[in-house]
Chain A
Amino acid sequence: MSLEPETLKSLVKAAAEQVIASAPELTALDQAIGDGDHGSNMKRGFEAVLGKLDTISTQPLDEAFKTIGKTLVMTVGGASGPLYGSFFLAVGDALRSKRLPDDLADVFGSGVGAVSARGRSHAGEKTMLDVLFPVLETLKAQAVRPDLIDRVRATATEAVARTAPMQATKGRASFLGARSVGHIDPGARSSCLLLLAVCNSLEARQ
């Protein structure tokens, strides 16, 4: 699981294209319990990332992640901009001293910690963290064992489904109180989509 420029480029491209293609689904989910802008916001942000793909793929890894983070912060527009942006900025910071694949769980954990701090949110509040935390646990438990990609995909997919019965206590969905129950969280879904795209892309390159 090396991350050479070409690999990084294909991962970022796959993730961005997945989010862009899924914008209608994310918007529909957000219309149910949020303000309906998650799809268009994420699409705008990841289109901007695609626009910088050539720069990103020539940068050192830590700088590349910072460029992605900064681009998302500046272009997404909703609360998901700073949340996803903080993830990538913190991953970039972590990569200054840590290495992939050995430190993958540590690096991912830095990103998850930044999202938690930015949103002042924890597990079980029906947010993207309800996907990111379980995936982090899978990464910690599995290190780089051969079936890691399958485990991450399964963890992320199951984790999204588990947000449906949760009652939102953070973000716009919290205004709905008990009425947020029964819908999966749009941010959890977009996190899952990004992770699935990265997993699929990594698998295809193996």
Chain B
Amino acid sequence: MNDMVGIVIVSHSKDIAKGTADMVRQMVGSEVKVAFCGGDPDGGLGTNVSLIIDAINNAWSPKGVAILVDLGGAETNSEMAVEMLQPERQNLVVVCNAPIVEGAVMAATEAASGSTLEQVRAVAEELSAG
């Protein structure tokens, strides 16, 4: 069984995060592990470090996890979440600089072919390069 990079989707809105995950599953299938989270600790719009940590652990793969985020706070909170993981996991998680929906679909597509974490990240980030 080939391990595949896991995908985590972090949005300020749980609905956007879930919708993005639904699109990934429909377009890429279910063999890639996809986890998502959104909302602040009170359930309002925002992001939340402990939910991000849970999502990373849920999508965990020995090949690593690629995170797709929407706006600034999602990125800052995701970086913080990565630093709070067990030390041996920290180098196996990247926050991609890519649009959340397109980035998640592209990253999952690349992951499904068994690519490395760096390849997955590069494909997602090509979307921002143009």
Q: Which residues of A contact B (CB under 8 A)?
A: 35, 37, 40-41, 44, 73-75, 77-79, 81-83, 85-86, 118-119, 171-172
Residue of B nearest to A86 (CB): B80
A37, B73: Cα distance in complex, Å: 11
20 cross-chain CB contacts under 8 A:
A37-B40, A37-B44, A37-B46, A40-B44, A41-B40, A41-B46, A44-B42, A73-B80, A77-B41, A77-B42, A77-B48, A77-B73, A78-B73, A79-B72, A79-B73, A81-B77, A82-B76, A82-B77, A82-B80, A119-B76
The DSSP consensus for interface residues of chain A is helix
A18, B76: Cα distance in complex, Å: 25
Q: Which residues of B contact A (CB under 8 A)?
A: 40-42, 44-50, 71-73, 76-77, 79-80, 84
Among B45, B47, B76, which residue has the most Cβ atoms of chain A within 10 A? B76
User: Known: A37-B40, A77-B40, A171-B72. Contact between A82 and B46, CB under 8 A?
Assistant: no
Q: Which of A75, A119, A172 is B71 in contact with, Cβ under 8 Å? A: A172
User: Known: A81-B77, A172-B71. Contact between A74 and B40, CB under 8 A?
Assistant: no
The DSSP consensus for interface residues of chain B is loop
Contact yes or no, B50 A74, CB < 8 A: yes
A72, B93: Cα distance in complex, Å: 23
Contact yes or no, A82 B42, CB < 8 A: no
CB distance from B100 to the nearest CB of A (A): 16
Q: Which of A40, A75, A85 is B80 in contact with, Cβ under 8 Å? A: A85
Contacts of A75 on B, CB cut-off 8 Å?
41
A78, B75: Cα distance in complex, Å: 10
A35, B70: Cα distance in complex, Å: 14
User: Known: A41-B40, A118-B79. Contact between A81 and B49, CB under 8 A?
Assistant: yes
